Amino acid sequence: MNVWLNLSFQDSASFIMEQMTFFYDFSFLIILMILVFVVYTMVCLSFESFINRYVLDNQMLESVWTVLPLIILVFLAFPSIRILYLMDEMKNPLLSCKVLGHQWFWSYEYSDFTNFEFDSYMIFNCMRLLETDSCFVVPMGLKIRLLVSSVDVLHSWTVPAFGVKVDSIPGRLNQLNFTTNRLGVYFGQCSEICGVNHSFMPIMVEVVMAAAFESWLVNSGA
């Protein structure tokens, strides 16, 4: 979760978020290099009192500053498209769950286990506006598919550590895929203004081992 003075992304807990962080660092490095070059050029020109007549009409130079941005965009496009395909529909998910947004709480249903479902309400505890009375428990390392919808107004199910965000729309079923690679408890919040208590419907996800997940299902009566 976020802490004070943390101006970067949260620590990743899924493969998708790792790739998104790497792409951010890669693109930021390229943008920083362009910025330094442009600032350096502007400073040099501002202190230069002479004009090079070959720069005013230079076909080769114009070709270079036309082709160079194209090459940079290609370097940015390929990893971006790769991440988009990684976030696309997952084949053969090992666990499918349903998430429903309400005013103002979340409902979870493990449809693979005899329709085991529960509601998740916010509680006032150590983590302000982040903790819930019931965690959404998922096993680590398995392909998980979420089917997200709403029963009243627009909501948005978001967990930054997983790099996932999907709109919860009444009458529409959206799909979300992720695979966790780190144990722990992760927090999120509704990211769509859904009414007066929009900030009081947090998301709390606990990632456990597969054996612990099975024990949790048995103890919960699934």
Q: Are residues 124 and 78 in the same domain?
A: no
Same domain, 133 and 204: yes
The answer on 60 and 157 residing in a single domain is no
Q: 124 and 78 in one domain?
A: no
User: Do 195 and 119 lie in a common domain?
Assistant: yes
Instruction: Tell me the mean pLDDT in the region 205-219.
Output: 86
Residue 181's CB: how many other CB atoms inside 10 A?
A: 15
CB 181 within 8 A of CB 17: no
- pLDDT tens-digit series, residues 39-87: 998 888 787 776 666 666 777 878 888 898 899 888 888 888 888 887 7
Q: Are residues 156 and 202 in the same domain?
A: yes
Residue 140 C-beta-side C-alpha neighbours within 13 Å: 13
Q: Check residues 106 and 213 and name the one with the higher pLDDT.
A: 106
Residues 143 and 67 grouped into a single domain: no
CATH number of the domain bearing residue 138: 2.60.40.420
The C-alpha atoms of residue 204 and residue 191 are separated, in whole angstroms, by: 14
Say which amino acid occupies 182: R
Percentage of the chain beyond pLDDT 90 is 20
The per-residue pLDDT for range 172-198, each reduced to its tens digit, is: 888 888 888 889 899 999 988 988 888
Q: Would you put residue 160 in left (φ > 0), alpha (ψ -120 to 50) or beta? A: alpha
Question: In angstroms, rounded to a whole number, what is the distance separating the alpha carbons of residues 171 and 210?
Answer: 33
Distance between terminal CA atoms of the chain?
Answer: 29
Asked whether residue 2 is assigned to any structural domain, the reply reads no
Which among 62, 88, 114 is the end of a domain? 88
DSSP 161: G
Average pLDDT, the chain: 85
Contacts (Cβ under 8 Å, ≥6 apart) of 208: 137, 138, 139, 140, 183, 216
- What type of residue sits at position 51? I
User: Do 129 and 26 have their domain in common?
Assistant: no
On the question of pLDDT at 113 being above 80, the answer is no
Residue scoring higher pLDDT (188 or 4): 188
- Cα separation, 156 vs 85, in Å, equals 21
pLDDT value for 134: 87
- Last residue of one domain, picked from the residues 30, 54, 88: 88
159 lies in some domain: yes
**For residues 98-124, average pLDDT:** 86
Inside any domain, residue 7: no
Q: Are residues 113 and 207 in the same domain?
A: yes
Q: In which domain, by residue range, is 30 found? A: 15-88
Q: What is the CATH number of the domain that holds 34?
A: 1.10.287.90
Residues 105, 77, single domain; the answer is: no
Same domain, 73 and 114: no
pLDDT at 54: 66
- 6 within some domain: no
In a domain, 10, yes or no: no
